[in-house]
Amino acid sequence: MRLELGNVLIKDVQFGDTTKLEEGVLSINKQELIDILMEDEHLKKVEVDIAKPGEKVRITPVKDVIEPRVKVEGPGGVFPGILSKVDMVGSGKTNVLKGCAVMTTGKIVGFQEGIVDMSGPGADYTPFSKLINIVLVCDPVDGLKQHEHEKAVRLAGFKAAKYLGETARNVIPDEVKVYEVDTLTEGLKKYPNLPKVGYVQMLQTQGLLHDTYVYGVDAKQIIPTIMYPTESMDGAIVSGNCVSACDKNTTYHHLNNPVIEDLLKVHGKELNFVGVIITNENVYLADKERSSNMTAKLAEFLGLDAVIISQEGFGNPDTDLIMNCKKIEAKGIKTVIITDEYAGRDGASQSLADADKAADAVVTAGNANQVITLPPMDKVIGSLEYVDIIAGGFNGSLAEDGTITVEIQAITGATNEIGFSNLTARTY
């Protein structure tokens, strides 16, 4: 299977009379976009703003970040099972608006939404400070329950991304990346001497606002299954979760999964990247046992020699991570796990809620409890009123002048566990 990703490099984003993409400049007819989003009866008000790298702008509470993409050749459309039919995606041609993103904010849904600073010390901790963000400030109608509110804002983000993605349908991309993946038997024939490697991707499915969707299905209800590495590049997996901002995988992360990218870079050279096993992180013990059993079985069934396991979230999912690691290692399959740490504000506490000696190869995305001071910004998109209560904030986080003292847990993408960023930790 072959997917060509055509990157159209976005140099600027501005509001204009028509929505179009010319010479790398994305113009947006603001009212037209708002009208599309306001078709959802659950939304009372939508505003659209633009935030650019280096600006003294703070966006909070950030819910999801989505990269605009459009399917230009091959089966299916972006976000299958949600905005497009449930065709299989991951082959053909997809164009990408590289360098910009849709970001959703507005009244808080739960507690676990994030902060994105476009400049200053906080900007170093989030990958989204480097993008031009088209920010949707969405407010729900009164009396909407949290889970309905979350859904309405989630869909608004996808719709906006699809709407903007359409502008790239007939644009010739600045660069084309080709991803070639093989079926199991083809791969074995082509690379008989290379180690067979898989990627076990754990999806956040603790429920109650902690959900991920695969081809439109709530991943709580799946049993682990196998995917081609390219499927998530077309939006087969999307975020619907309000787990702490630092280590939730936004939809942008899923579209640009770096474990998949980095394994594909060495596919056919140093290893044979056989495929992705997706699994979930349900809260009931029976679910945890069933899913980790299935994951280990699939790894064995595929004849894998080694896997990378990535986590999403922390605490309760630490148990899923360790179960997966233990059971896969017990089958003689080597593992590397990617996680992050909650070692306390002083860094002196034990970092994980579960541990096992089988987990002898760990990549860490850093200690989420580290405290950071974010100086005031000239402009806030969204609202500062929730800073004290978001995960990573505490009573007194927000000073009168707009300075924020929070754990980096509150910064979107700070300790991402699919290894999207460079932050890590070592023992002093």
Partner 1 sequence: MGKIRIVHYLNQFFAGIGGEEKADFKPEVREGVVGPGMALQAGFKDEAEIVATVICGDSYFNENIEEAKAKVLELVKQYNPDLFIAGPAFNAGRYGVACGAITEAVQNELNIPALTAMYEENPGVDLYRKSIYIIPTKDSAVGMRDAVSKIVPFALKLAKGEKIGSPEEEGYIKRGIRVNYFADKRGSQRAVEMLIKKINGEKYETEYPMPDFDRVTPNPAIKDITKAKIALVTSGGIVPKGNPDHIESSSASKYGKYDIEGLMDLTADTFQTAHGGYDPVYANEDADRVLPVDVLRDLEKEGKIGKLHRYYYSTVGNGTSVANAKKFASEIAKELVADGVDAVILTST
Map the footprint of partner 1 across residues 323-362, applying CB under 8 A: 334, 336, 338-339, 341-357, 359-362
Cα gap 86→90, rounded to integer Å: 12
From 100, 242, 246, 325, the catalytic residue: 242
384 binds partner 1, rule: CB under 8 A:
no
Three-state DSSP state, 95:
strand
10 versus 423: smaller Cβ distance to partner 1: 423
Q: If binding is defined by CB under 8 A, does position 258 make contact with partner 1?
A: yes
Q: Which is nearer to partner 1, 74 or 393 (CB)?
A: 393
Residue nearer to partner 1 on the CB measure, 8 or 359: 359
Residue among 58, 62, 64, 34 nearest 47 (CA): 34
CB of 24 or CB of 258, closer to partner 1:
258
Shortest Å, Cβ 54 to partner 1: 19
Determine the Cα–Cα distance for residues 427 and 424; give it in Å rounded to an integer: 11
Q: What is the DSSP letter of 97?
A: E
Q: Select the span of 78-86, 179-187, 217-225, 409-417 touching partner 1 (CB under 8 A).
A: 409-417
* CB distance 309 to 335 below 8 Å: yes
Of 36 and 362, which CB lies nearer to partner 1 in the complex structure?
Answer: 362
Distance CA 407, CA 370 (A): 5
**DSSP state for residue 314 in the 8-state scheme:** S
**How many whole angstroms separate alpha carbon 321 and alpha carbon 199?**
13
Q: Which stretch, 67-75, 200-208, 222-230, 376-384, contacts partner 1 (CB under 8 A)?
A: 200-208
Q: Contacting partner 1 (CB under 8 A), which of 65, 116, 259, 323?
A: 259
Of residues 84, 206, 230, 412, which one binds partner 1 by CB under 8 A? Answer: 206
* HSE (side-chain half, CA atoms, 13 Å) at 94: 31
Site for partner 1 in 264-283 (CB under 8 A): 265-266, 270-271
DSSP string, 361-409: -EEEEEETT-EEEE---SEEEE-STTTTTSBTB-TT-B-TTS-EEEEGG
Q: Is 261 in the site for partner 1 (CB under 8 A)?
A: yes
Query: Binders of partner 1 among 288-307, rule CB under 8 A?
Result: 305-307
Touching partner 1, residues 12-41 (CB under 8 A): none
| 390 belongs to the binding site for partner 1 (CB under 8 A) | yes
Q: Would you count residue 363 as binding partner 1 (CB under 8 A)?
A: yes
Residue 104 near residue 156 (C-beta atoms within 8 A): yes
Of the pair 15, 394, the CB lying nearest partner 1 is at: 394
Q: Quote the least distance from Cβ 191 to partner 1, whole Å.
A: 14
User: Judged by CB under 8 A, which stretch of 38-46, 77-85, 134-142, 413-421 contacts partner 1?
Assistant: 413-421
193 contributes a contact to partner 1 by CB under 8 A:
no
| Smallest distance from partner 1 to CB 19, Å | 33
Count of residues that interact with partner 1, criterion CB under 8 A: 88
**Residue type at 215 in one-letter notation:** Y
| 242 carries an active-site annotation | yes
Is 171 or 365 the residue whose CB approaches partner 1 more closely? 365
Between 87 and 124, name the residue whose CB sits nearer to partner 1: 124
Element (H, E) at 88: none
Residue type, 315: G
The residue assigned the tokens 């007819």 is: 29
315 part of the interface to partner 1, by CB under 8 A: yes
Residues 73-132 interacting with partner 1 (rule: CB under 8 A): 110-112, 124
Q: How many CB atoms lie within 10 A of CB 270?
A: 12
**Which runs of consecutive H residues, i.e. helices, occur in 113-250?**
146-165, 184-190
Which residues are paired to 180 by β-bridges?
A: 2
CA angle 175–168–260, rounded 5-degree value:
50
Among 243, 274, 296, 328, binds partner 1 (CB under 8 A): 243
Alpha-carbon distances of 92 from 76, 136, 306, rounded to whole Å: 9, 30, 29
- CB of residue 235 to partner 1, shortest distance in Å: 19
- Interaction mask 155-174, partner 1, x per CB under 8 A: --------------------
Q: In this structure, are residues 376 and 122 in contact, taking their beta carbons and an 8 Å threshold?
A: no
Q: Least distance from C-beta 300 to partner 1, angstroms?
A: 16
Q: What is the DSSP string of 27-77?
A: EE-HHHHHHHHHTSTTEEEEEEEEE-TTSSEEEEEE--EE--EEEEESS--
What is the closest distance, in whole angstroms, from the C-beta atom of residue 351 to partner 1 in the complex? 6
Residues with a catalytic annotation lie at: 242
